[in-house]
């Protein structure tokens, strides 16, 4: 009996099992915890909204299929010992491509990929060269121990680590895009409060995410109270998807239009659409008013805001926070305001804000120090963003 052969097979099996465990755990974690929202969006778009992605089932099926592909690659290449991890390159490459979705999907509706096909071809060619060299070296490689602490094991683990980093590098790791997908998924389920928690502490945003947050705030009657607690990264032409500058994917736009009262018959600017809605009796007038008032504040047009706020609210201490802040700022900046009113607590806070401005002479220092205390107020947005 050949006991040396049995020992060698048992040792190389350890490497095979360790590589398989690393791959399966990474693939499941990558798909379930980090890319489930991107996969859900991709399937929704490709199916025209007819099917929905299940994160757990999808991660399991994809991982199994990619592992079966690795087994086929191993059966063809027979790479063992120090080079066994190279058999996972095709599976890792496909995993990266599945999650390499471009943010451009927001504007054209197609599922695009940022990775170039020439790069894919180059990776395959380089991998093929490495497989050829590994097979030649494998024939003369010493049959030393392949235990958990052997050089061969560490070489394979290093290779697997590099492959995992490559997947992370090629896949979509844009934080704002993931915030957007998670927010849309929650909006589609009607979980508006949870949607507002996504990325709340981050200063990163874009026009699409701002539009989604405004919708969630409108659903929870919080536009005038909380809008400027989030990064405002667009102007008033992008607060609604009426003109095509922003769009919704996982959450149907019809849900937004039903909430506001009517779907626009053609592309138009959000302000025109909102003013047209006000002519109807069946629309939520206060909500439409909040959208209009917030659009004026986003554009820093506090004069128009001051003229219009009385159409939707009684001007007293019950006004939403940002409206009180905007009126306080307006009264202090205009020598002949339309009206004079005082919100005691807000007035005191604004005086503290101005005192802090006088304490720091340079803009960068002033912006940083005031931001620590007043970021999330309309005053900070108006003066420093």
Question: pLDDT at position 31, please?
Answer: 96
Among candidates 76, 108, 82, which has minimal Cα distance to 11?
82
Among candidates 130, 343, 314, which has minimal Cα distance to 326?
343
pTM: 0.86
Question: pLDDT at position 80, please?
Answer: 86
Phi, psi of 3 (to 5 degrees): -70, -30
Token pair, residue 211, equals 């539009």
**Spatial distance between the Cα atoms of 83 and 17, rounded to a whole number of angstroms:** 14
- Name residues of the chain where pLDDT drops below 50: 1-10, 106-108
Question: pLDDT at position 5, please?
Answer: 47
Work out the number of other CB atoms within 10 angstroms of the CB of residue 374. Answer: 21
Contacts of 139 (CB under 8 A, 6+ apart): none
Packing angle of the helix pair 117-138, 89-98 (nearest 10 deg): 160
Question: pLDDT at position 7, please?
Answer: 46
Question: pLDDT at position 2, please?
Answer: 47
């Amino acid at each position: 009996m050949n006991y040396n052969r049995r020992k060698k097979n048992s040792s190389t099996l350890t490497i095979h099992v360790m590589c398989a465990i690393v791959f399966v755990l990474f693939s499941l974690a990558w798909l379930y915890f980090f890319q489930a929202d991107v996969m859900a969006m991709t399937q929704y778009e490709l199916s025209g909204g007819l099917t929905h992605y299940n994160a757990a089932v999808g991660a399991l099926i994809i991982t199994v299929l990619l592992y079966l592909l690795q087994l086929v690659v191993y059966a063809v290449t027979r790479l063992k010992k120090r080079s066994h991890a190279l058999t996972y390159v095709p599976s890792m490459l496909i995993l990266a491509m599945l999650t390499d979705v471009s943010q451009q999907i927001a504007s054209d509706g197609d599922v695009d990929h940022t990775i170039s096909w020439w790069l894919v071809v180059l990776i395959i060619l380089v991998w093929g060269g490495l497989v050829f060299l590994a097979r030649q070296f494998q024939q003369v490689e010493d049959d030393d121990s392949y235990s958990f602490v052997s050089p061969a094991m560490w070489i394979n683990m290093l290779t697997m680590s590099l492959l995992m980093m490559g997947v992370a590098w090629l896949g979509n790791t844009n934080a704002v895009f993931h915030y957007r997908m998670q927010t849309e998924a929650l909006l589609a389920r009607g979980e508006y409060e949870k949607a507002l928690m996504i990325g709340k502490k981050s200063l990163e945003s874009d026009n699409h995410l701002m539009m989604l947050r405004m919708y969630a705030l409108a659903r929870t009657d919080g536009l005038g109270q909380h809008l400027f607690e989030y990064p405002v990264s667009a102007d008033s032409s992008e607060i609604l998807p009426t003109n095509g500058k922003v769009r919704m994917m996982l959450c149907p736009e019809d849900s937004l239009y039903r909430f506001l009262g009517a779907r626009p018959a053609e592309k138009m600017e959000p302000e025109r659409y909102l003013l047209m809605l006000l002519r109807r009796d069946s629309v939520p007038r206060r909500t439409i008013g909040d959208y209009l008032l917030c659009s004026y504040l986003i554009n820093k047009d506090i004069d128009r805001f001051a003229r219009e706020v009385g159409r939707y609210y009684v001007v007293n201490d019950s006004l939403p926070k940002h409206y009180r802040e905007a009126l306080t700022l307006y009264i202090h900046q205009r020598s002949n305001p339309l009206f004079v009113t005082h919100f005691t607590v807000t007035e005191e806070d604004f005086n503290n804000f101005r005192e802090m401005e006088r304490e720091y002479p340079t803009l960068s220092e002033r912006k940083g120090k005031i931001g620590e205390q007043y970021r999330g107020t309309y005053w900070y947005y108006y003066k420093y963003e």
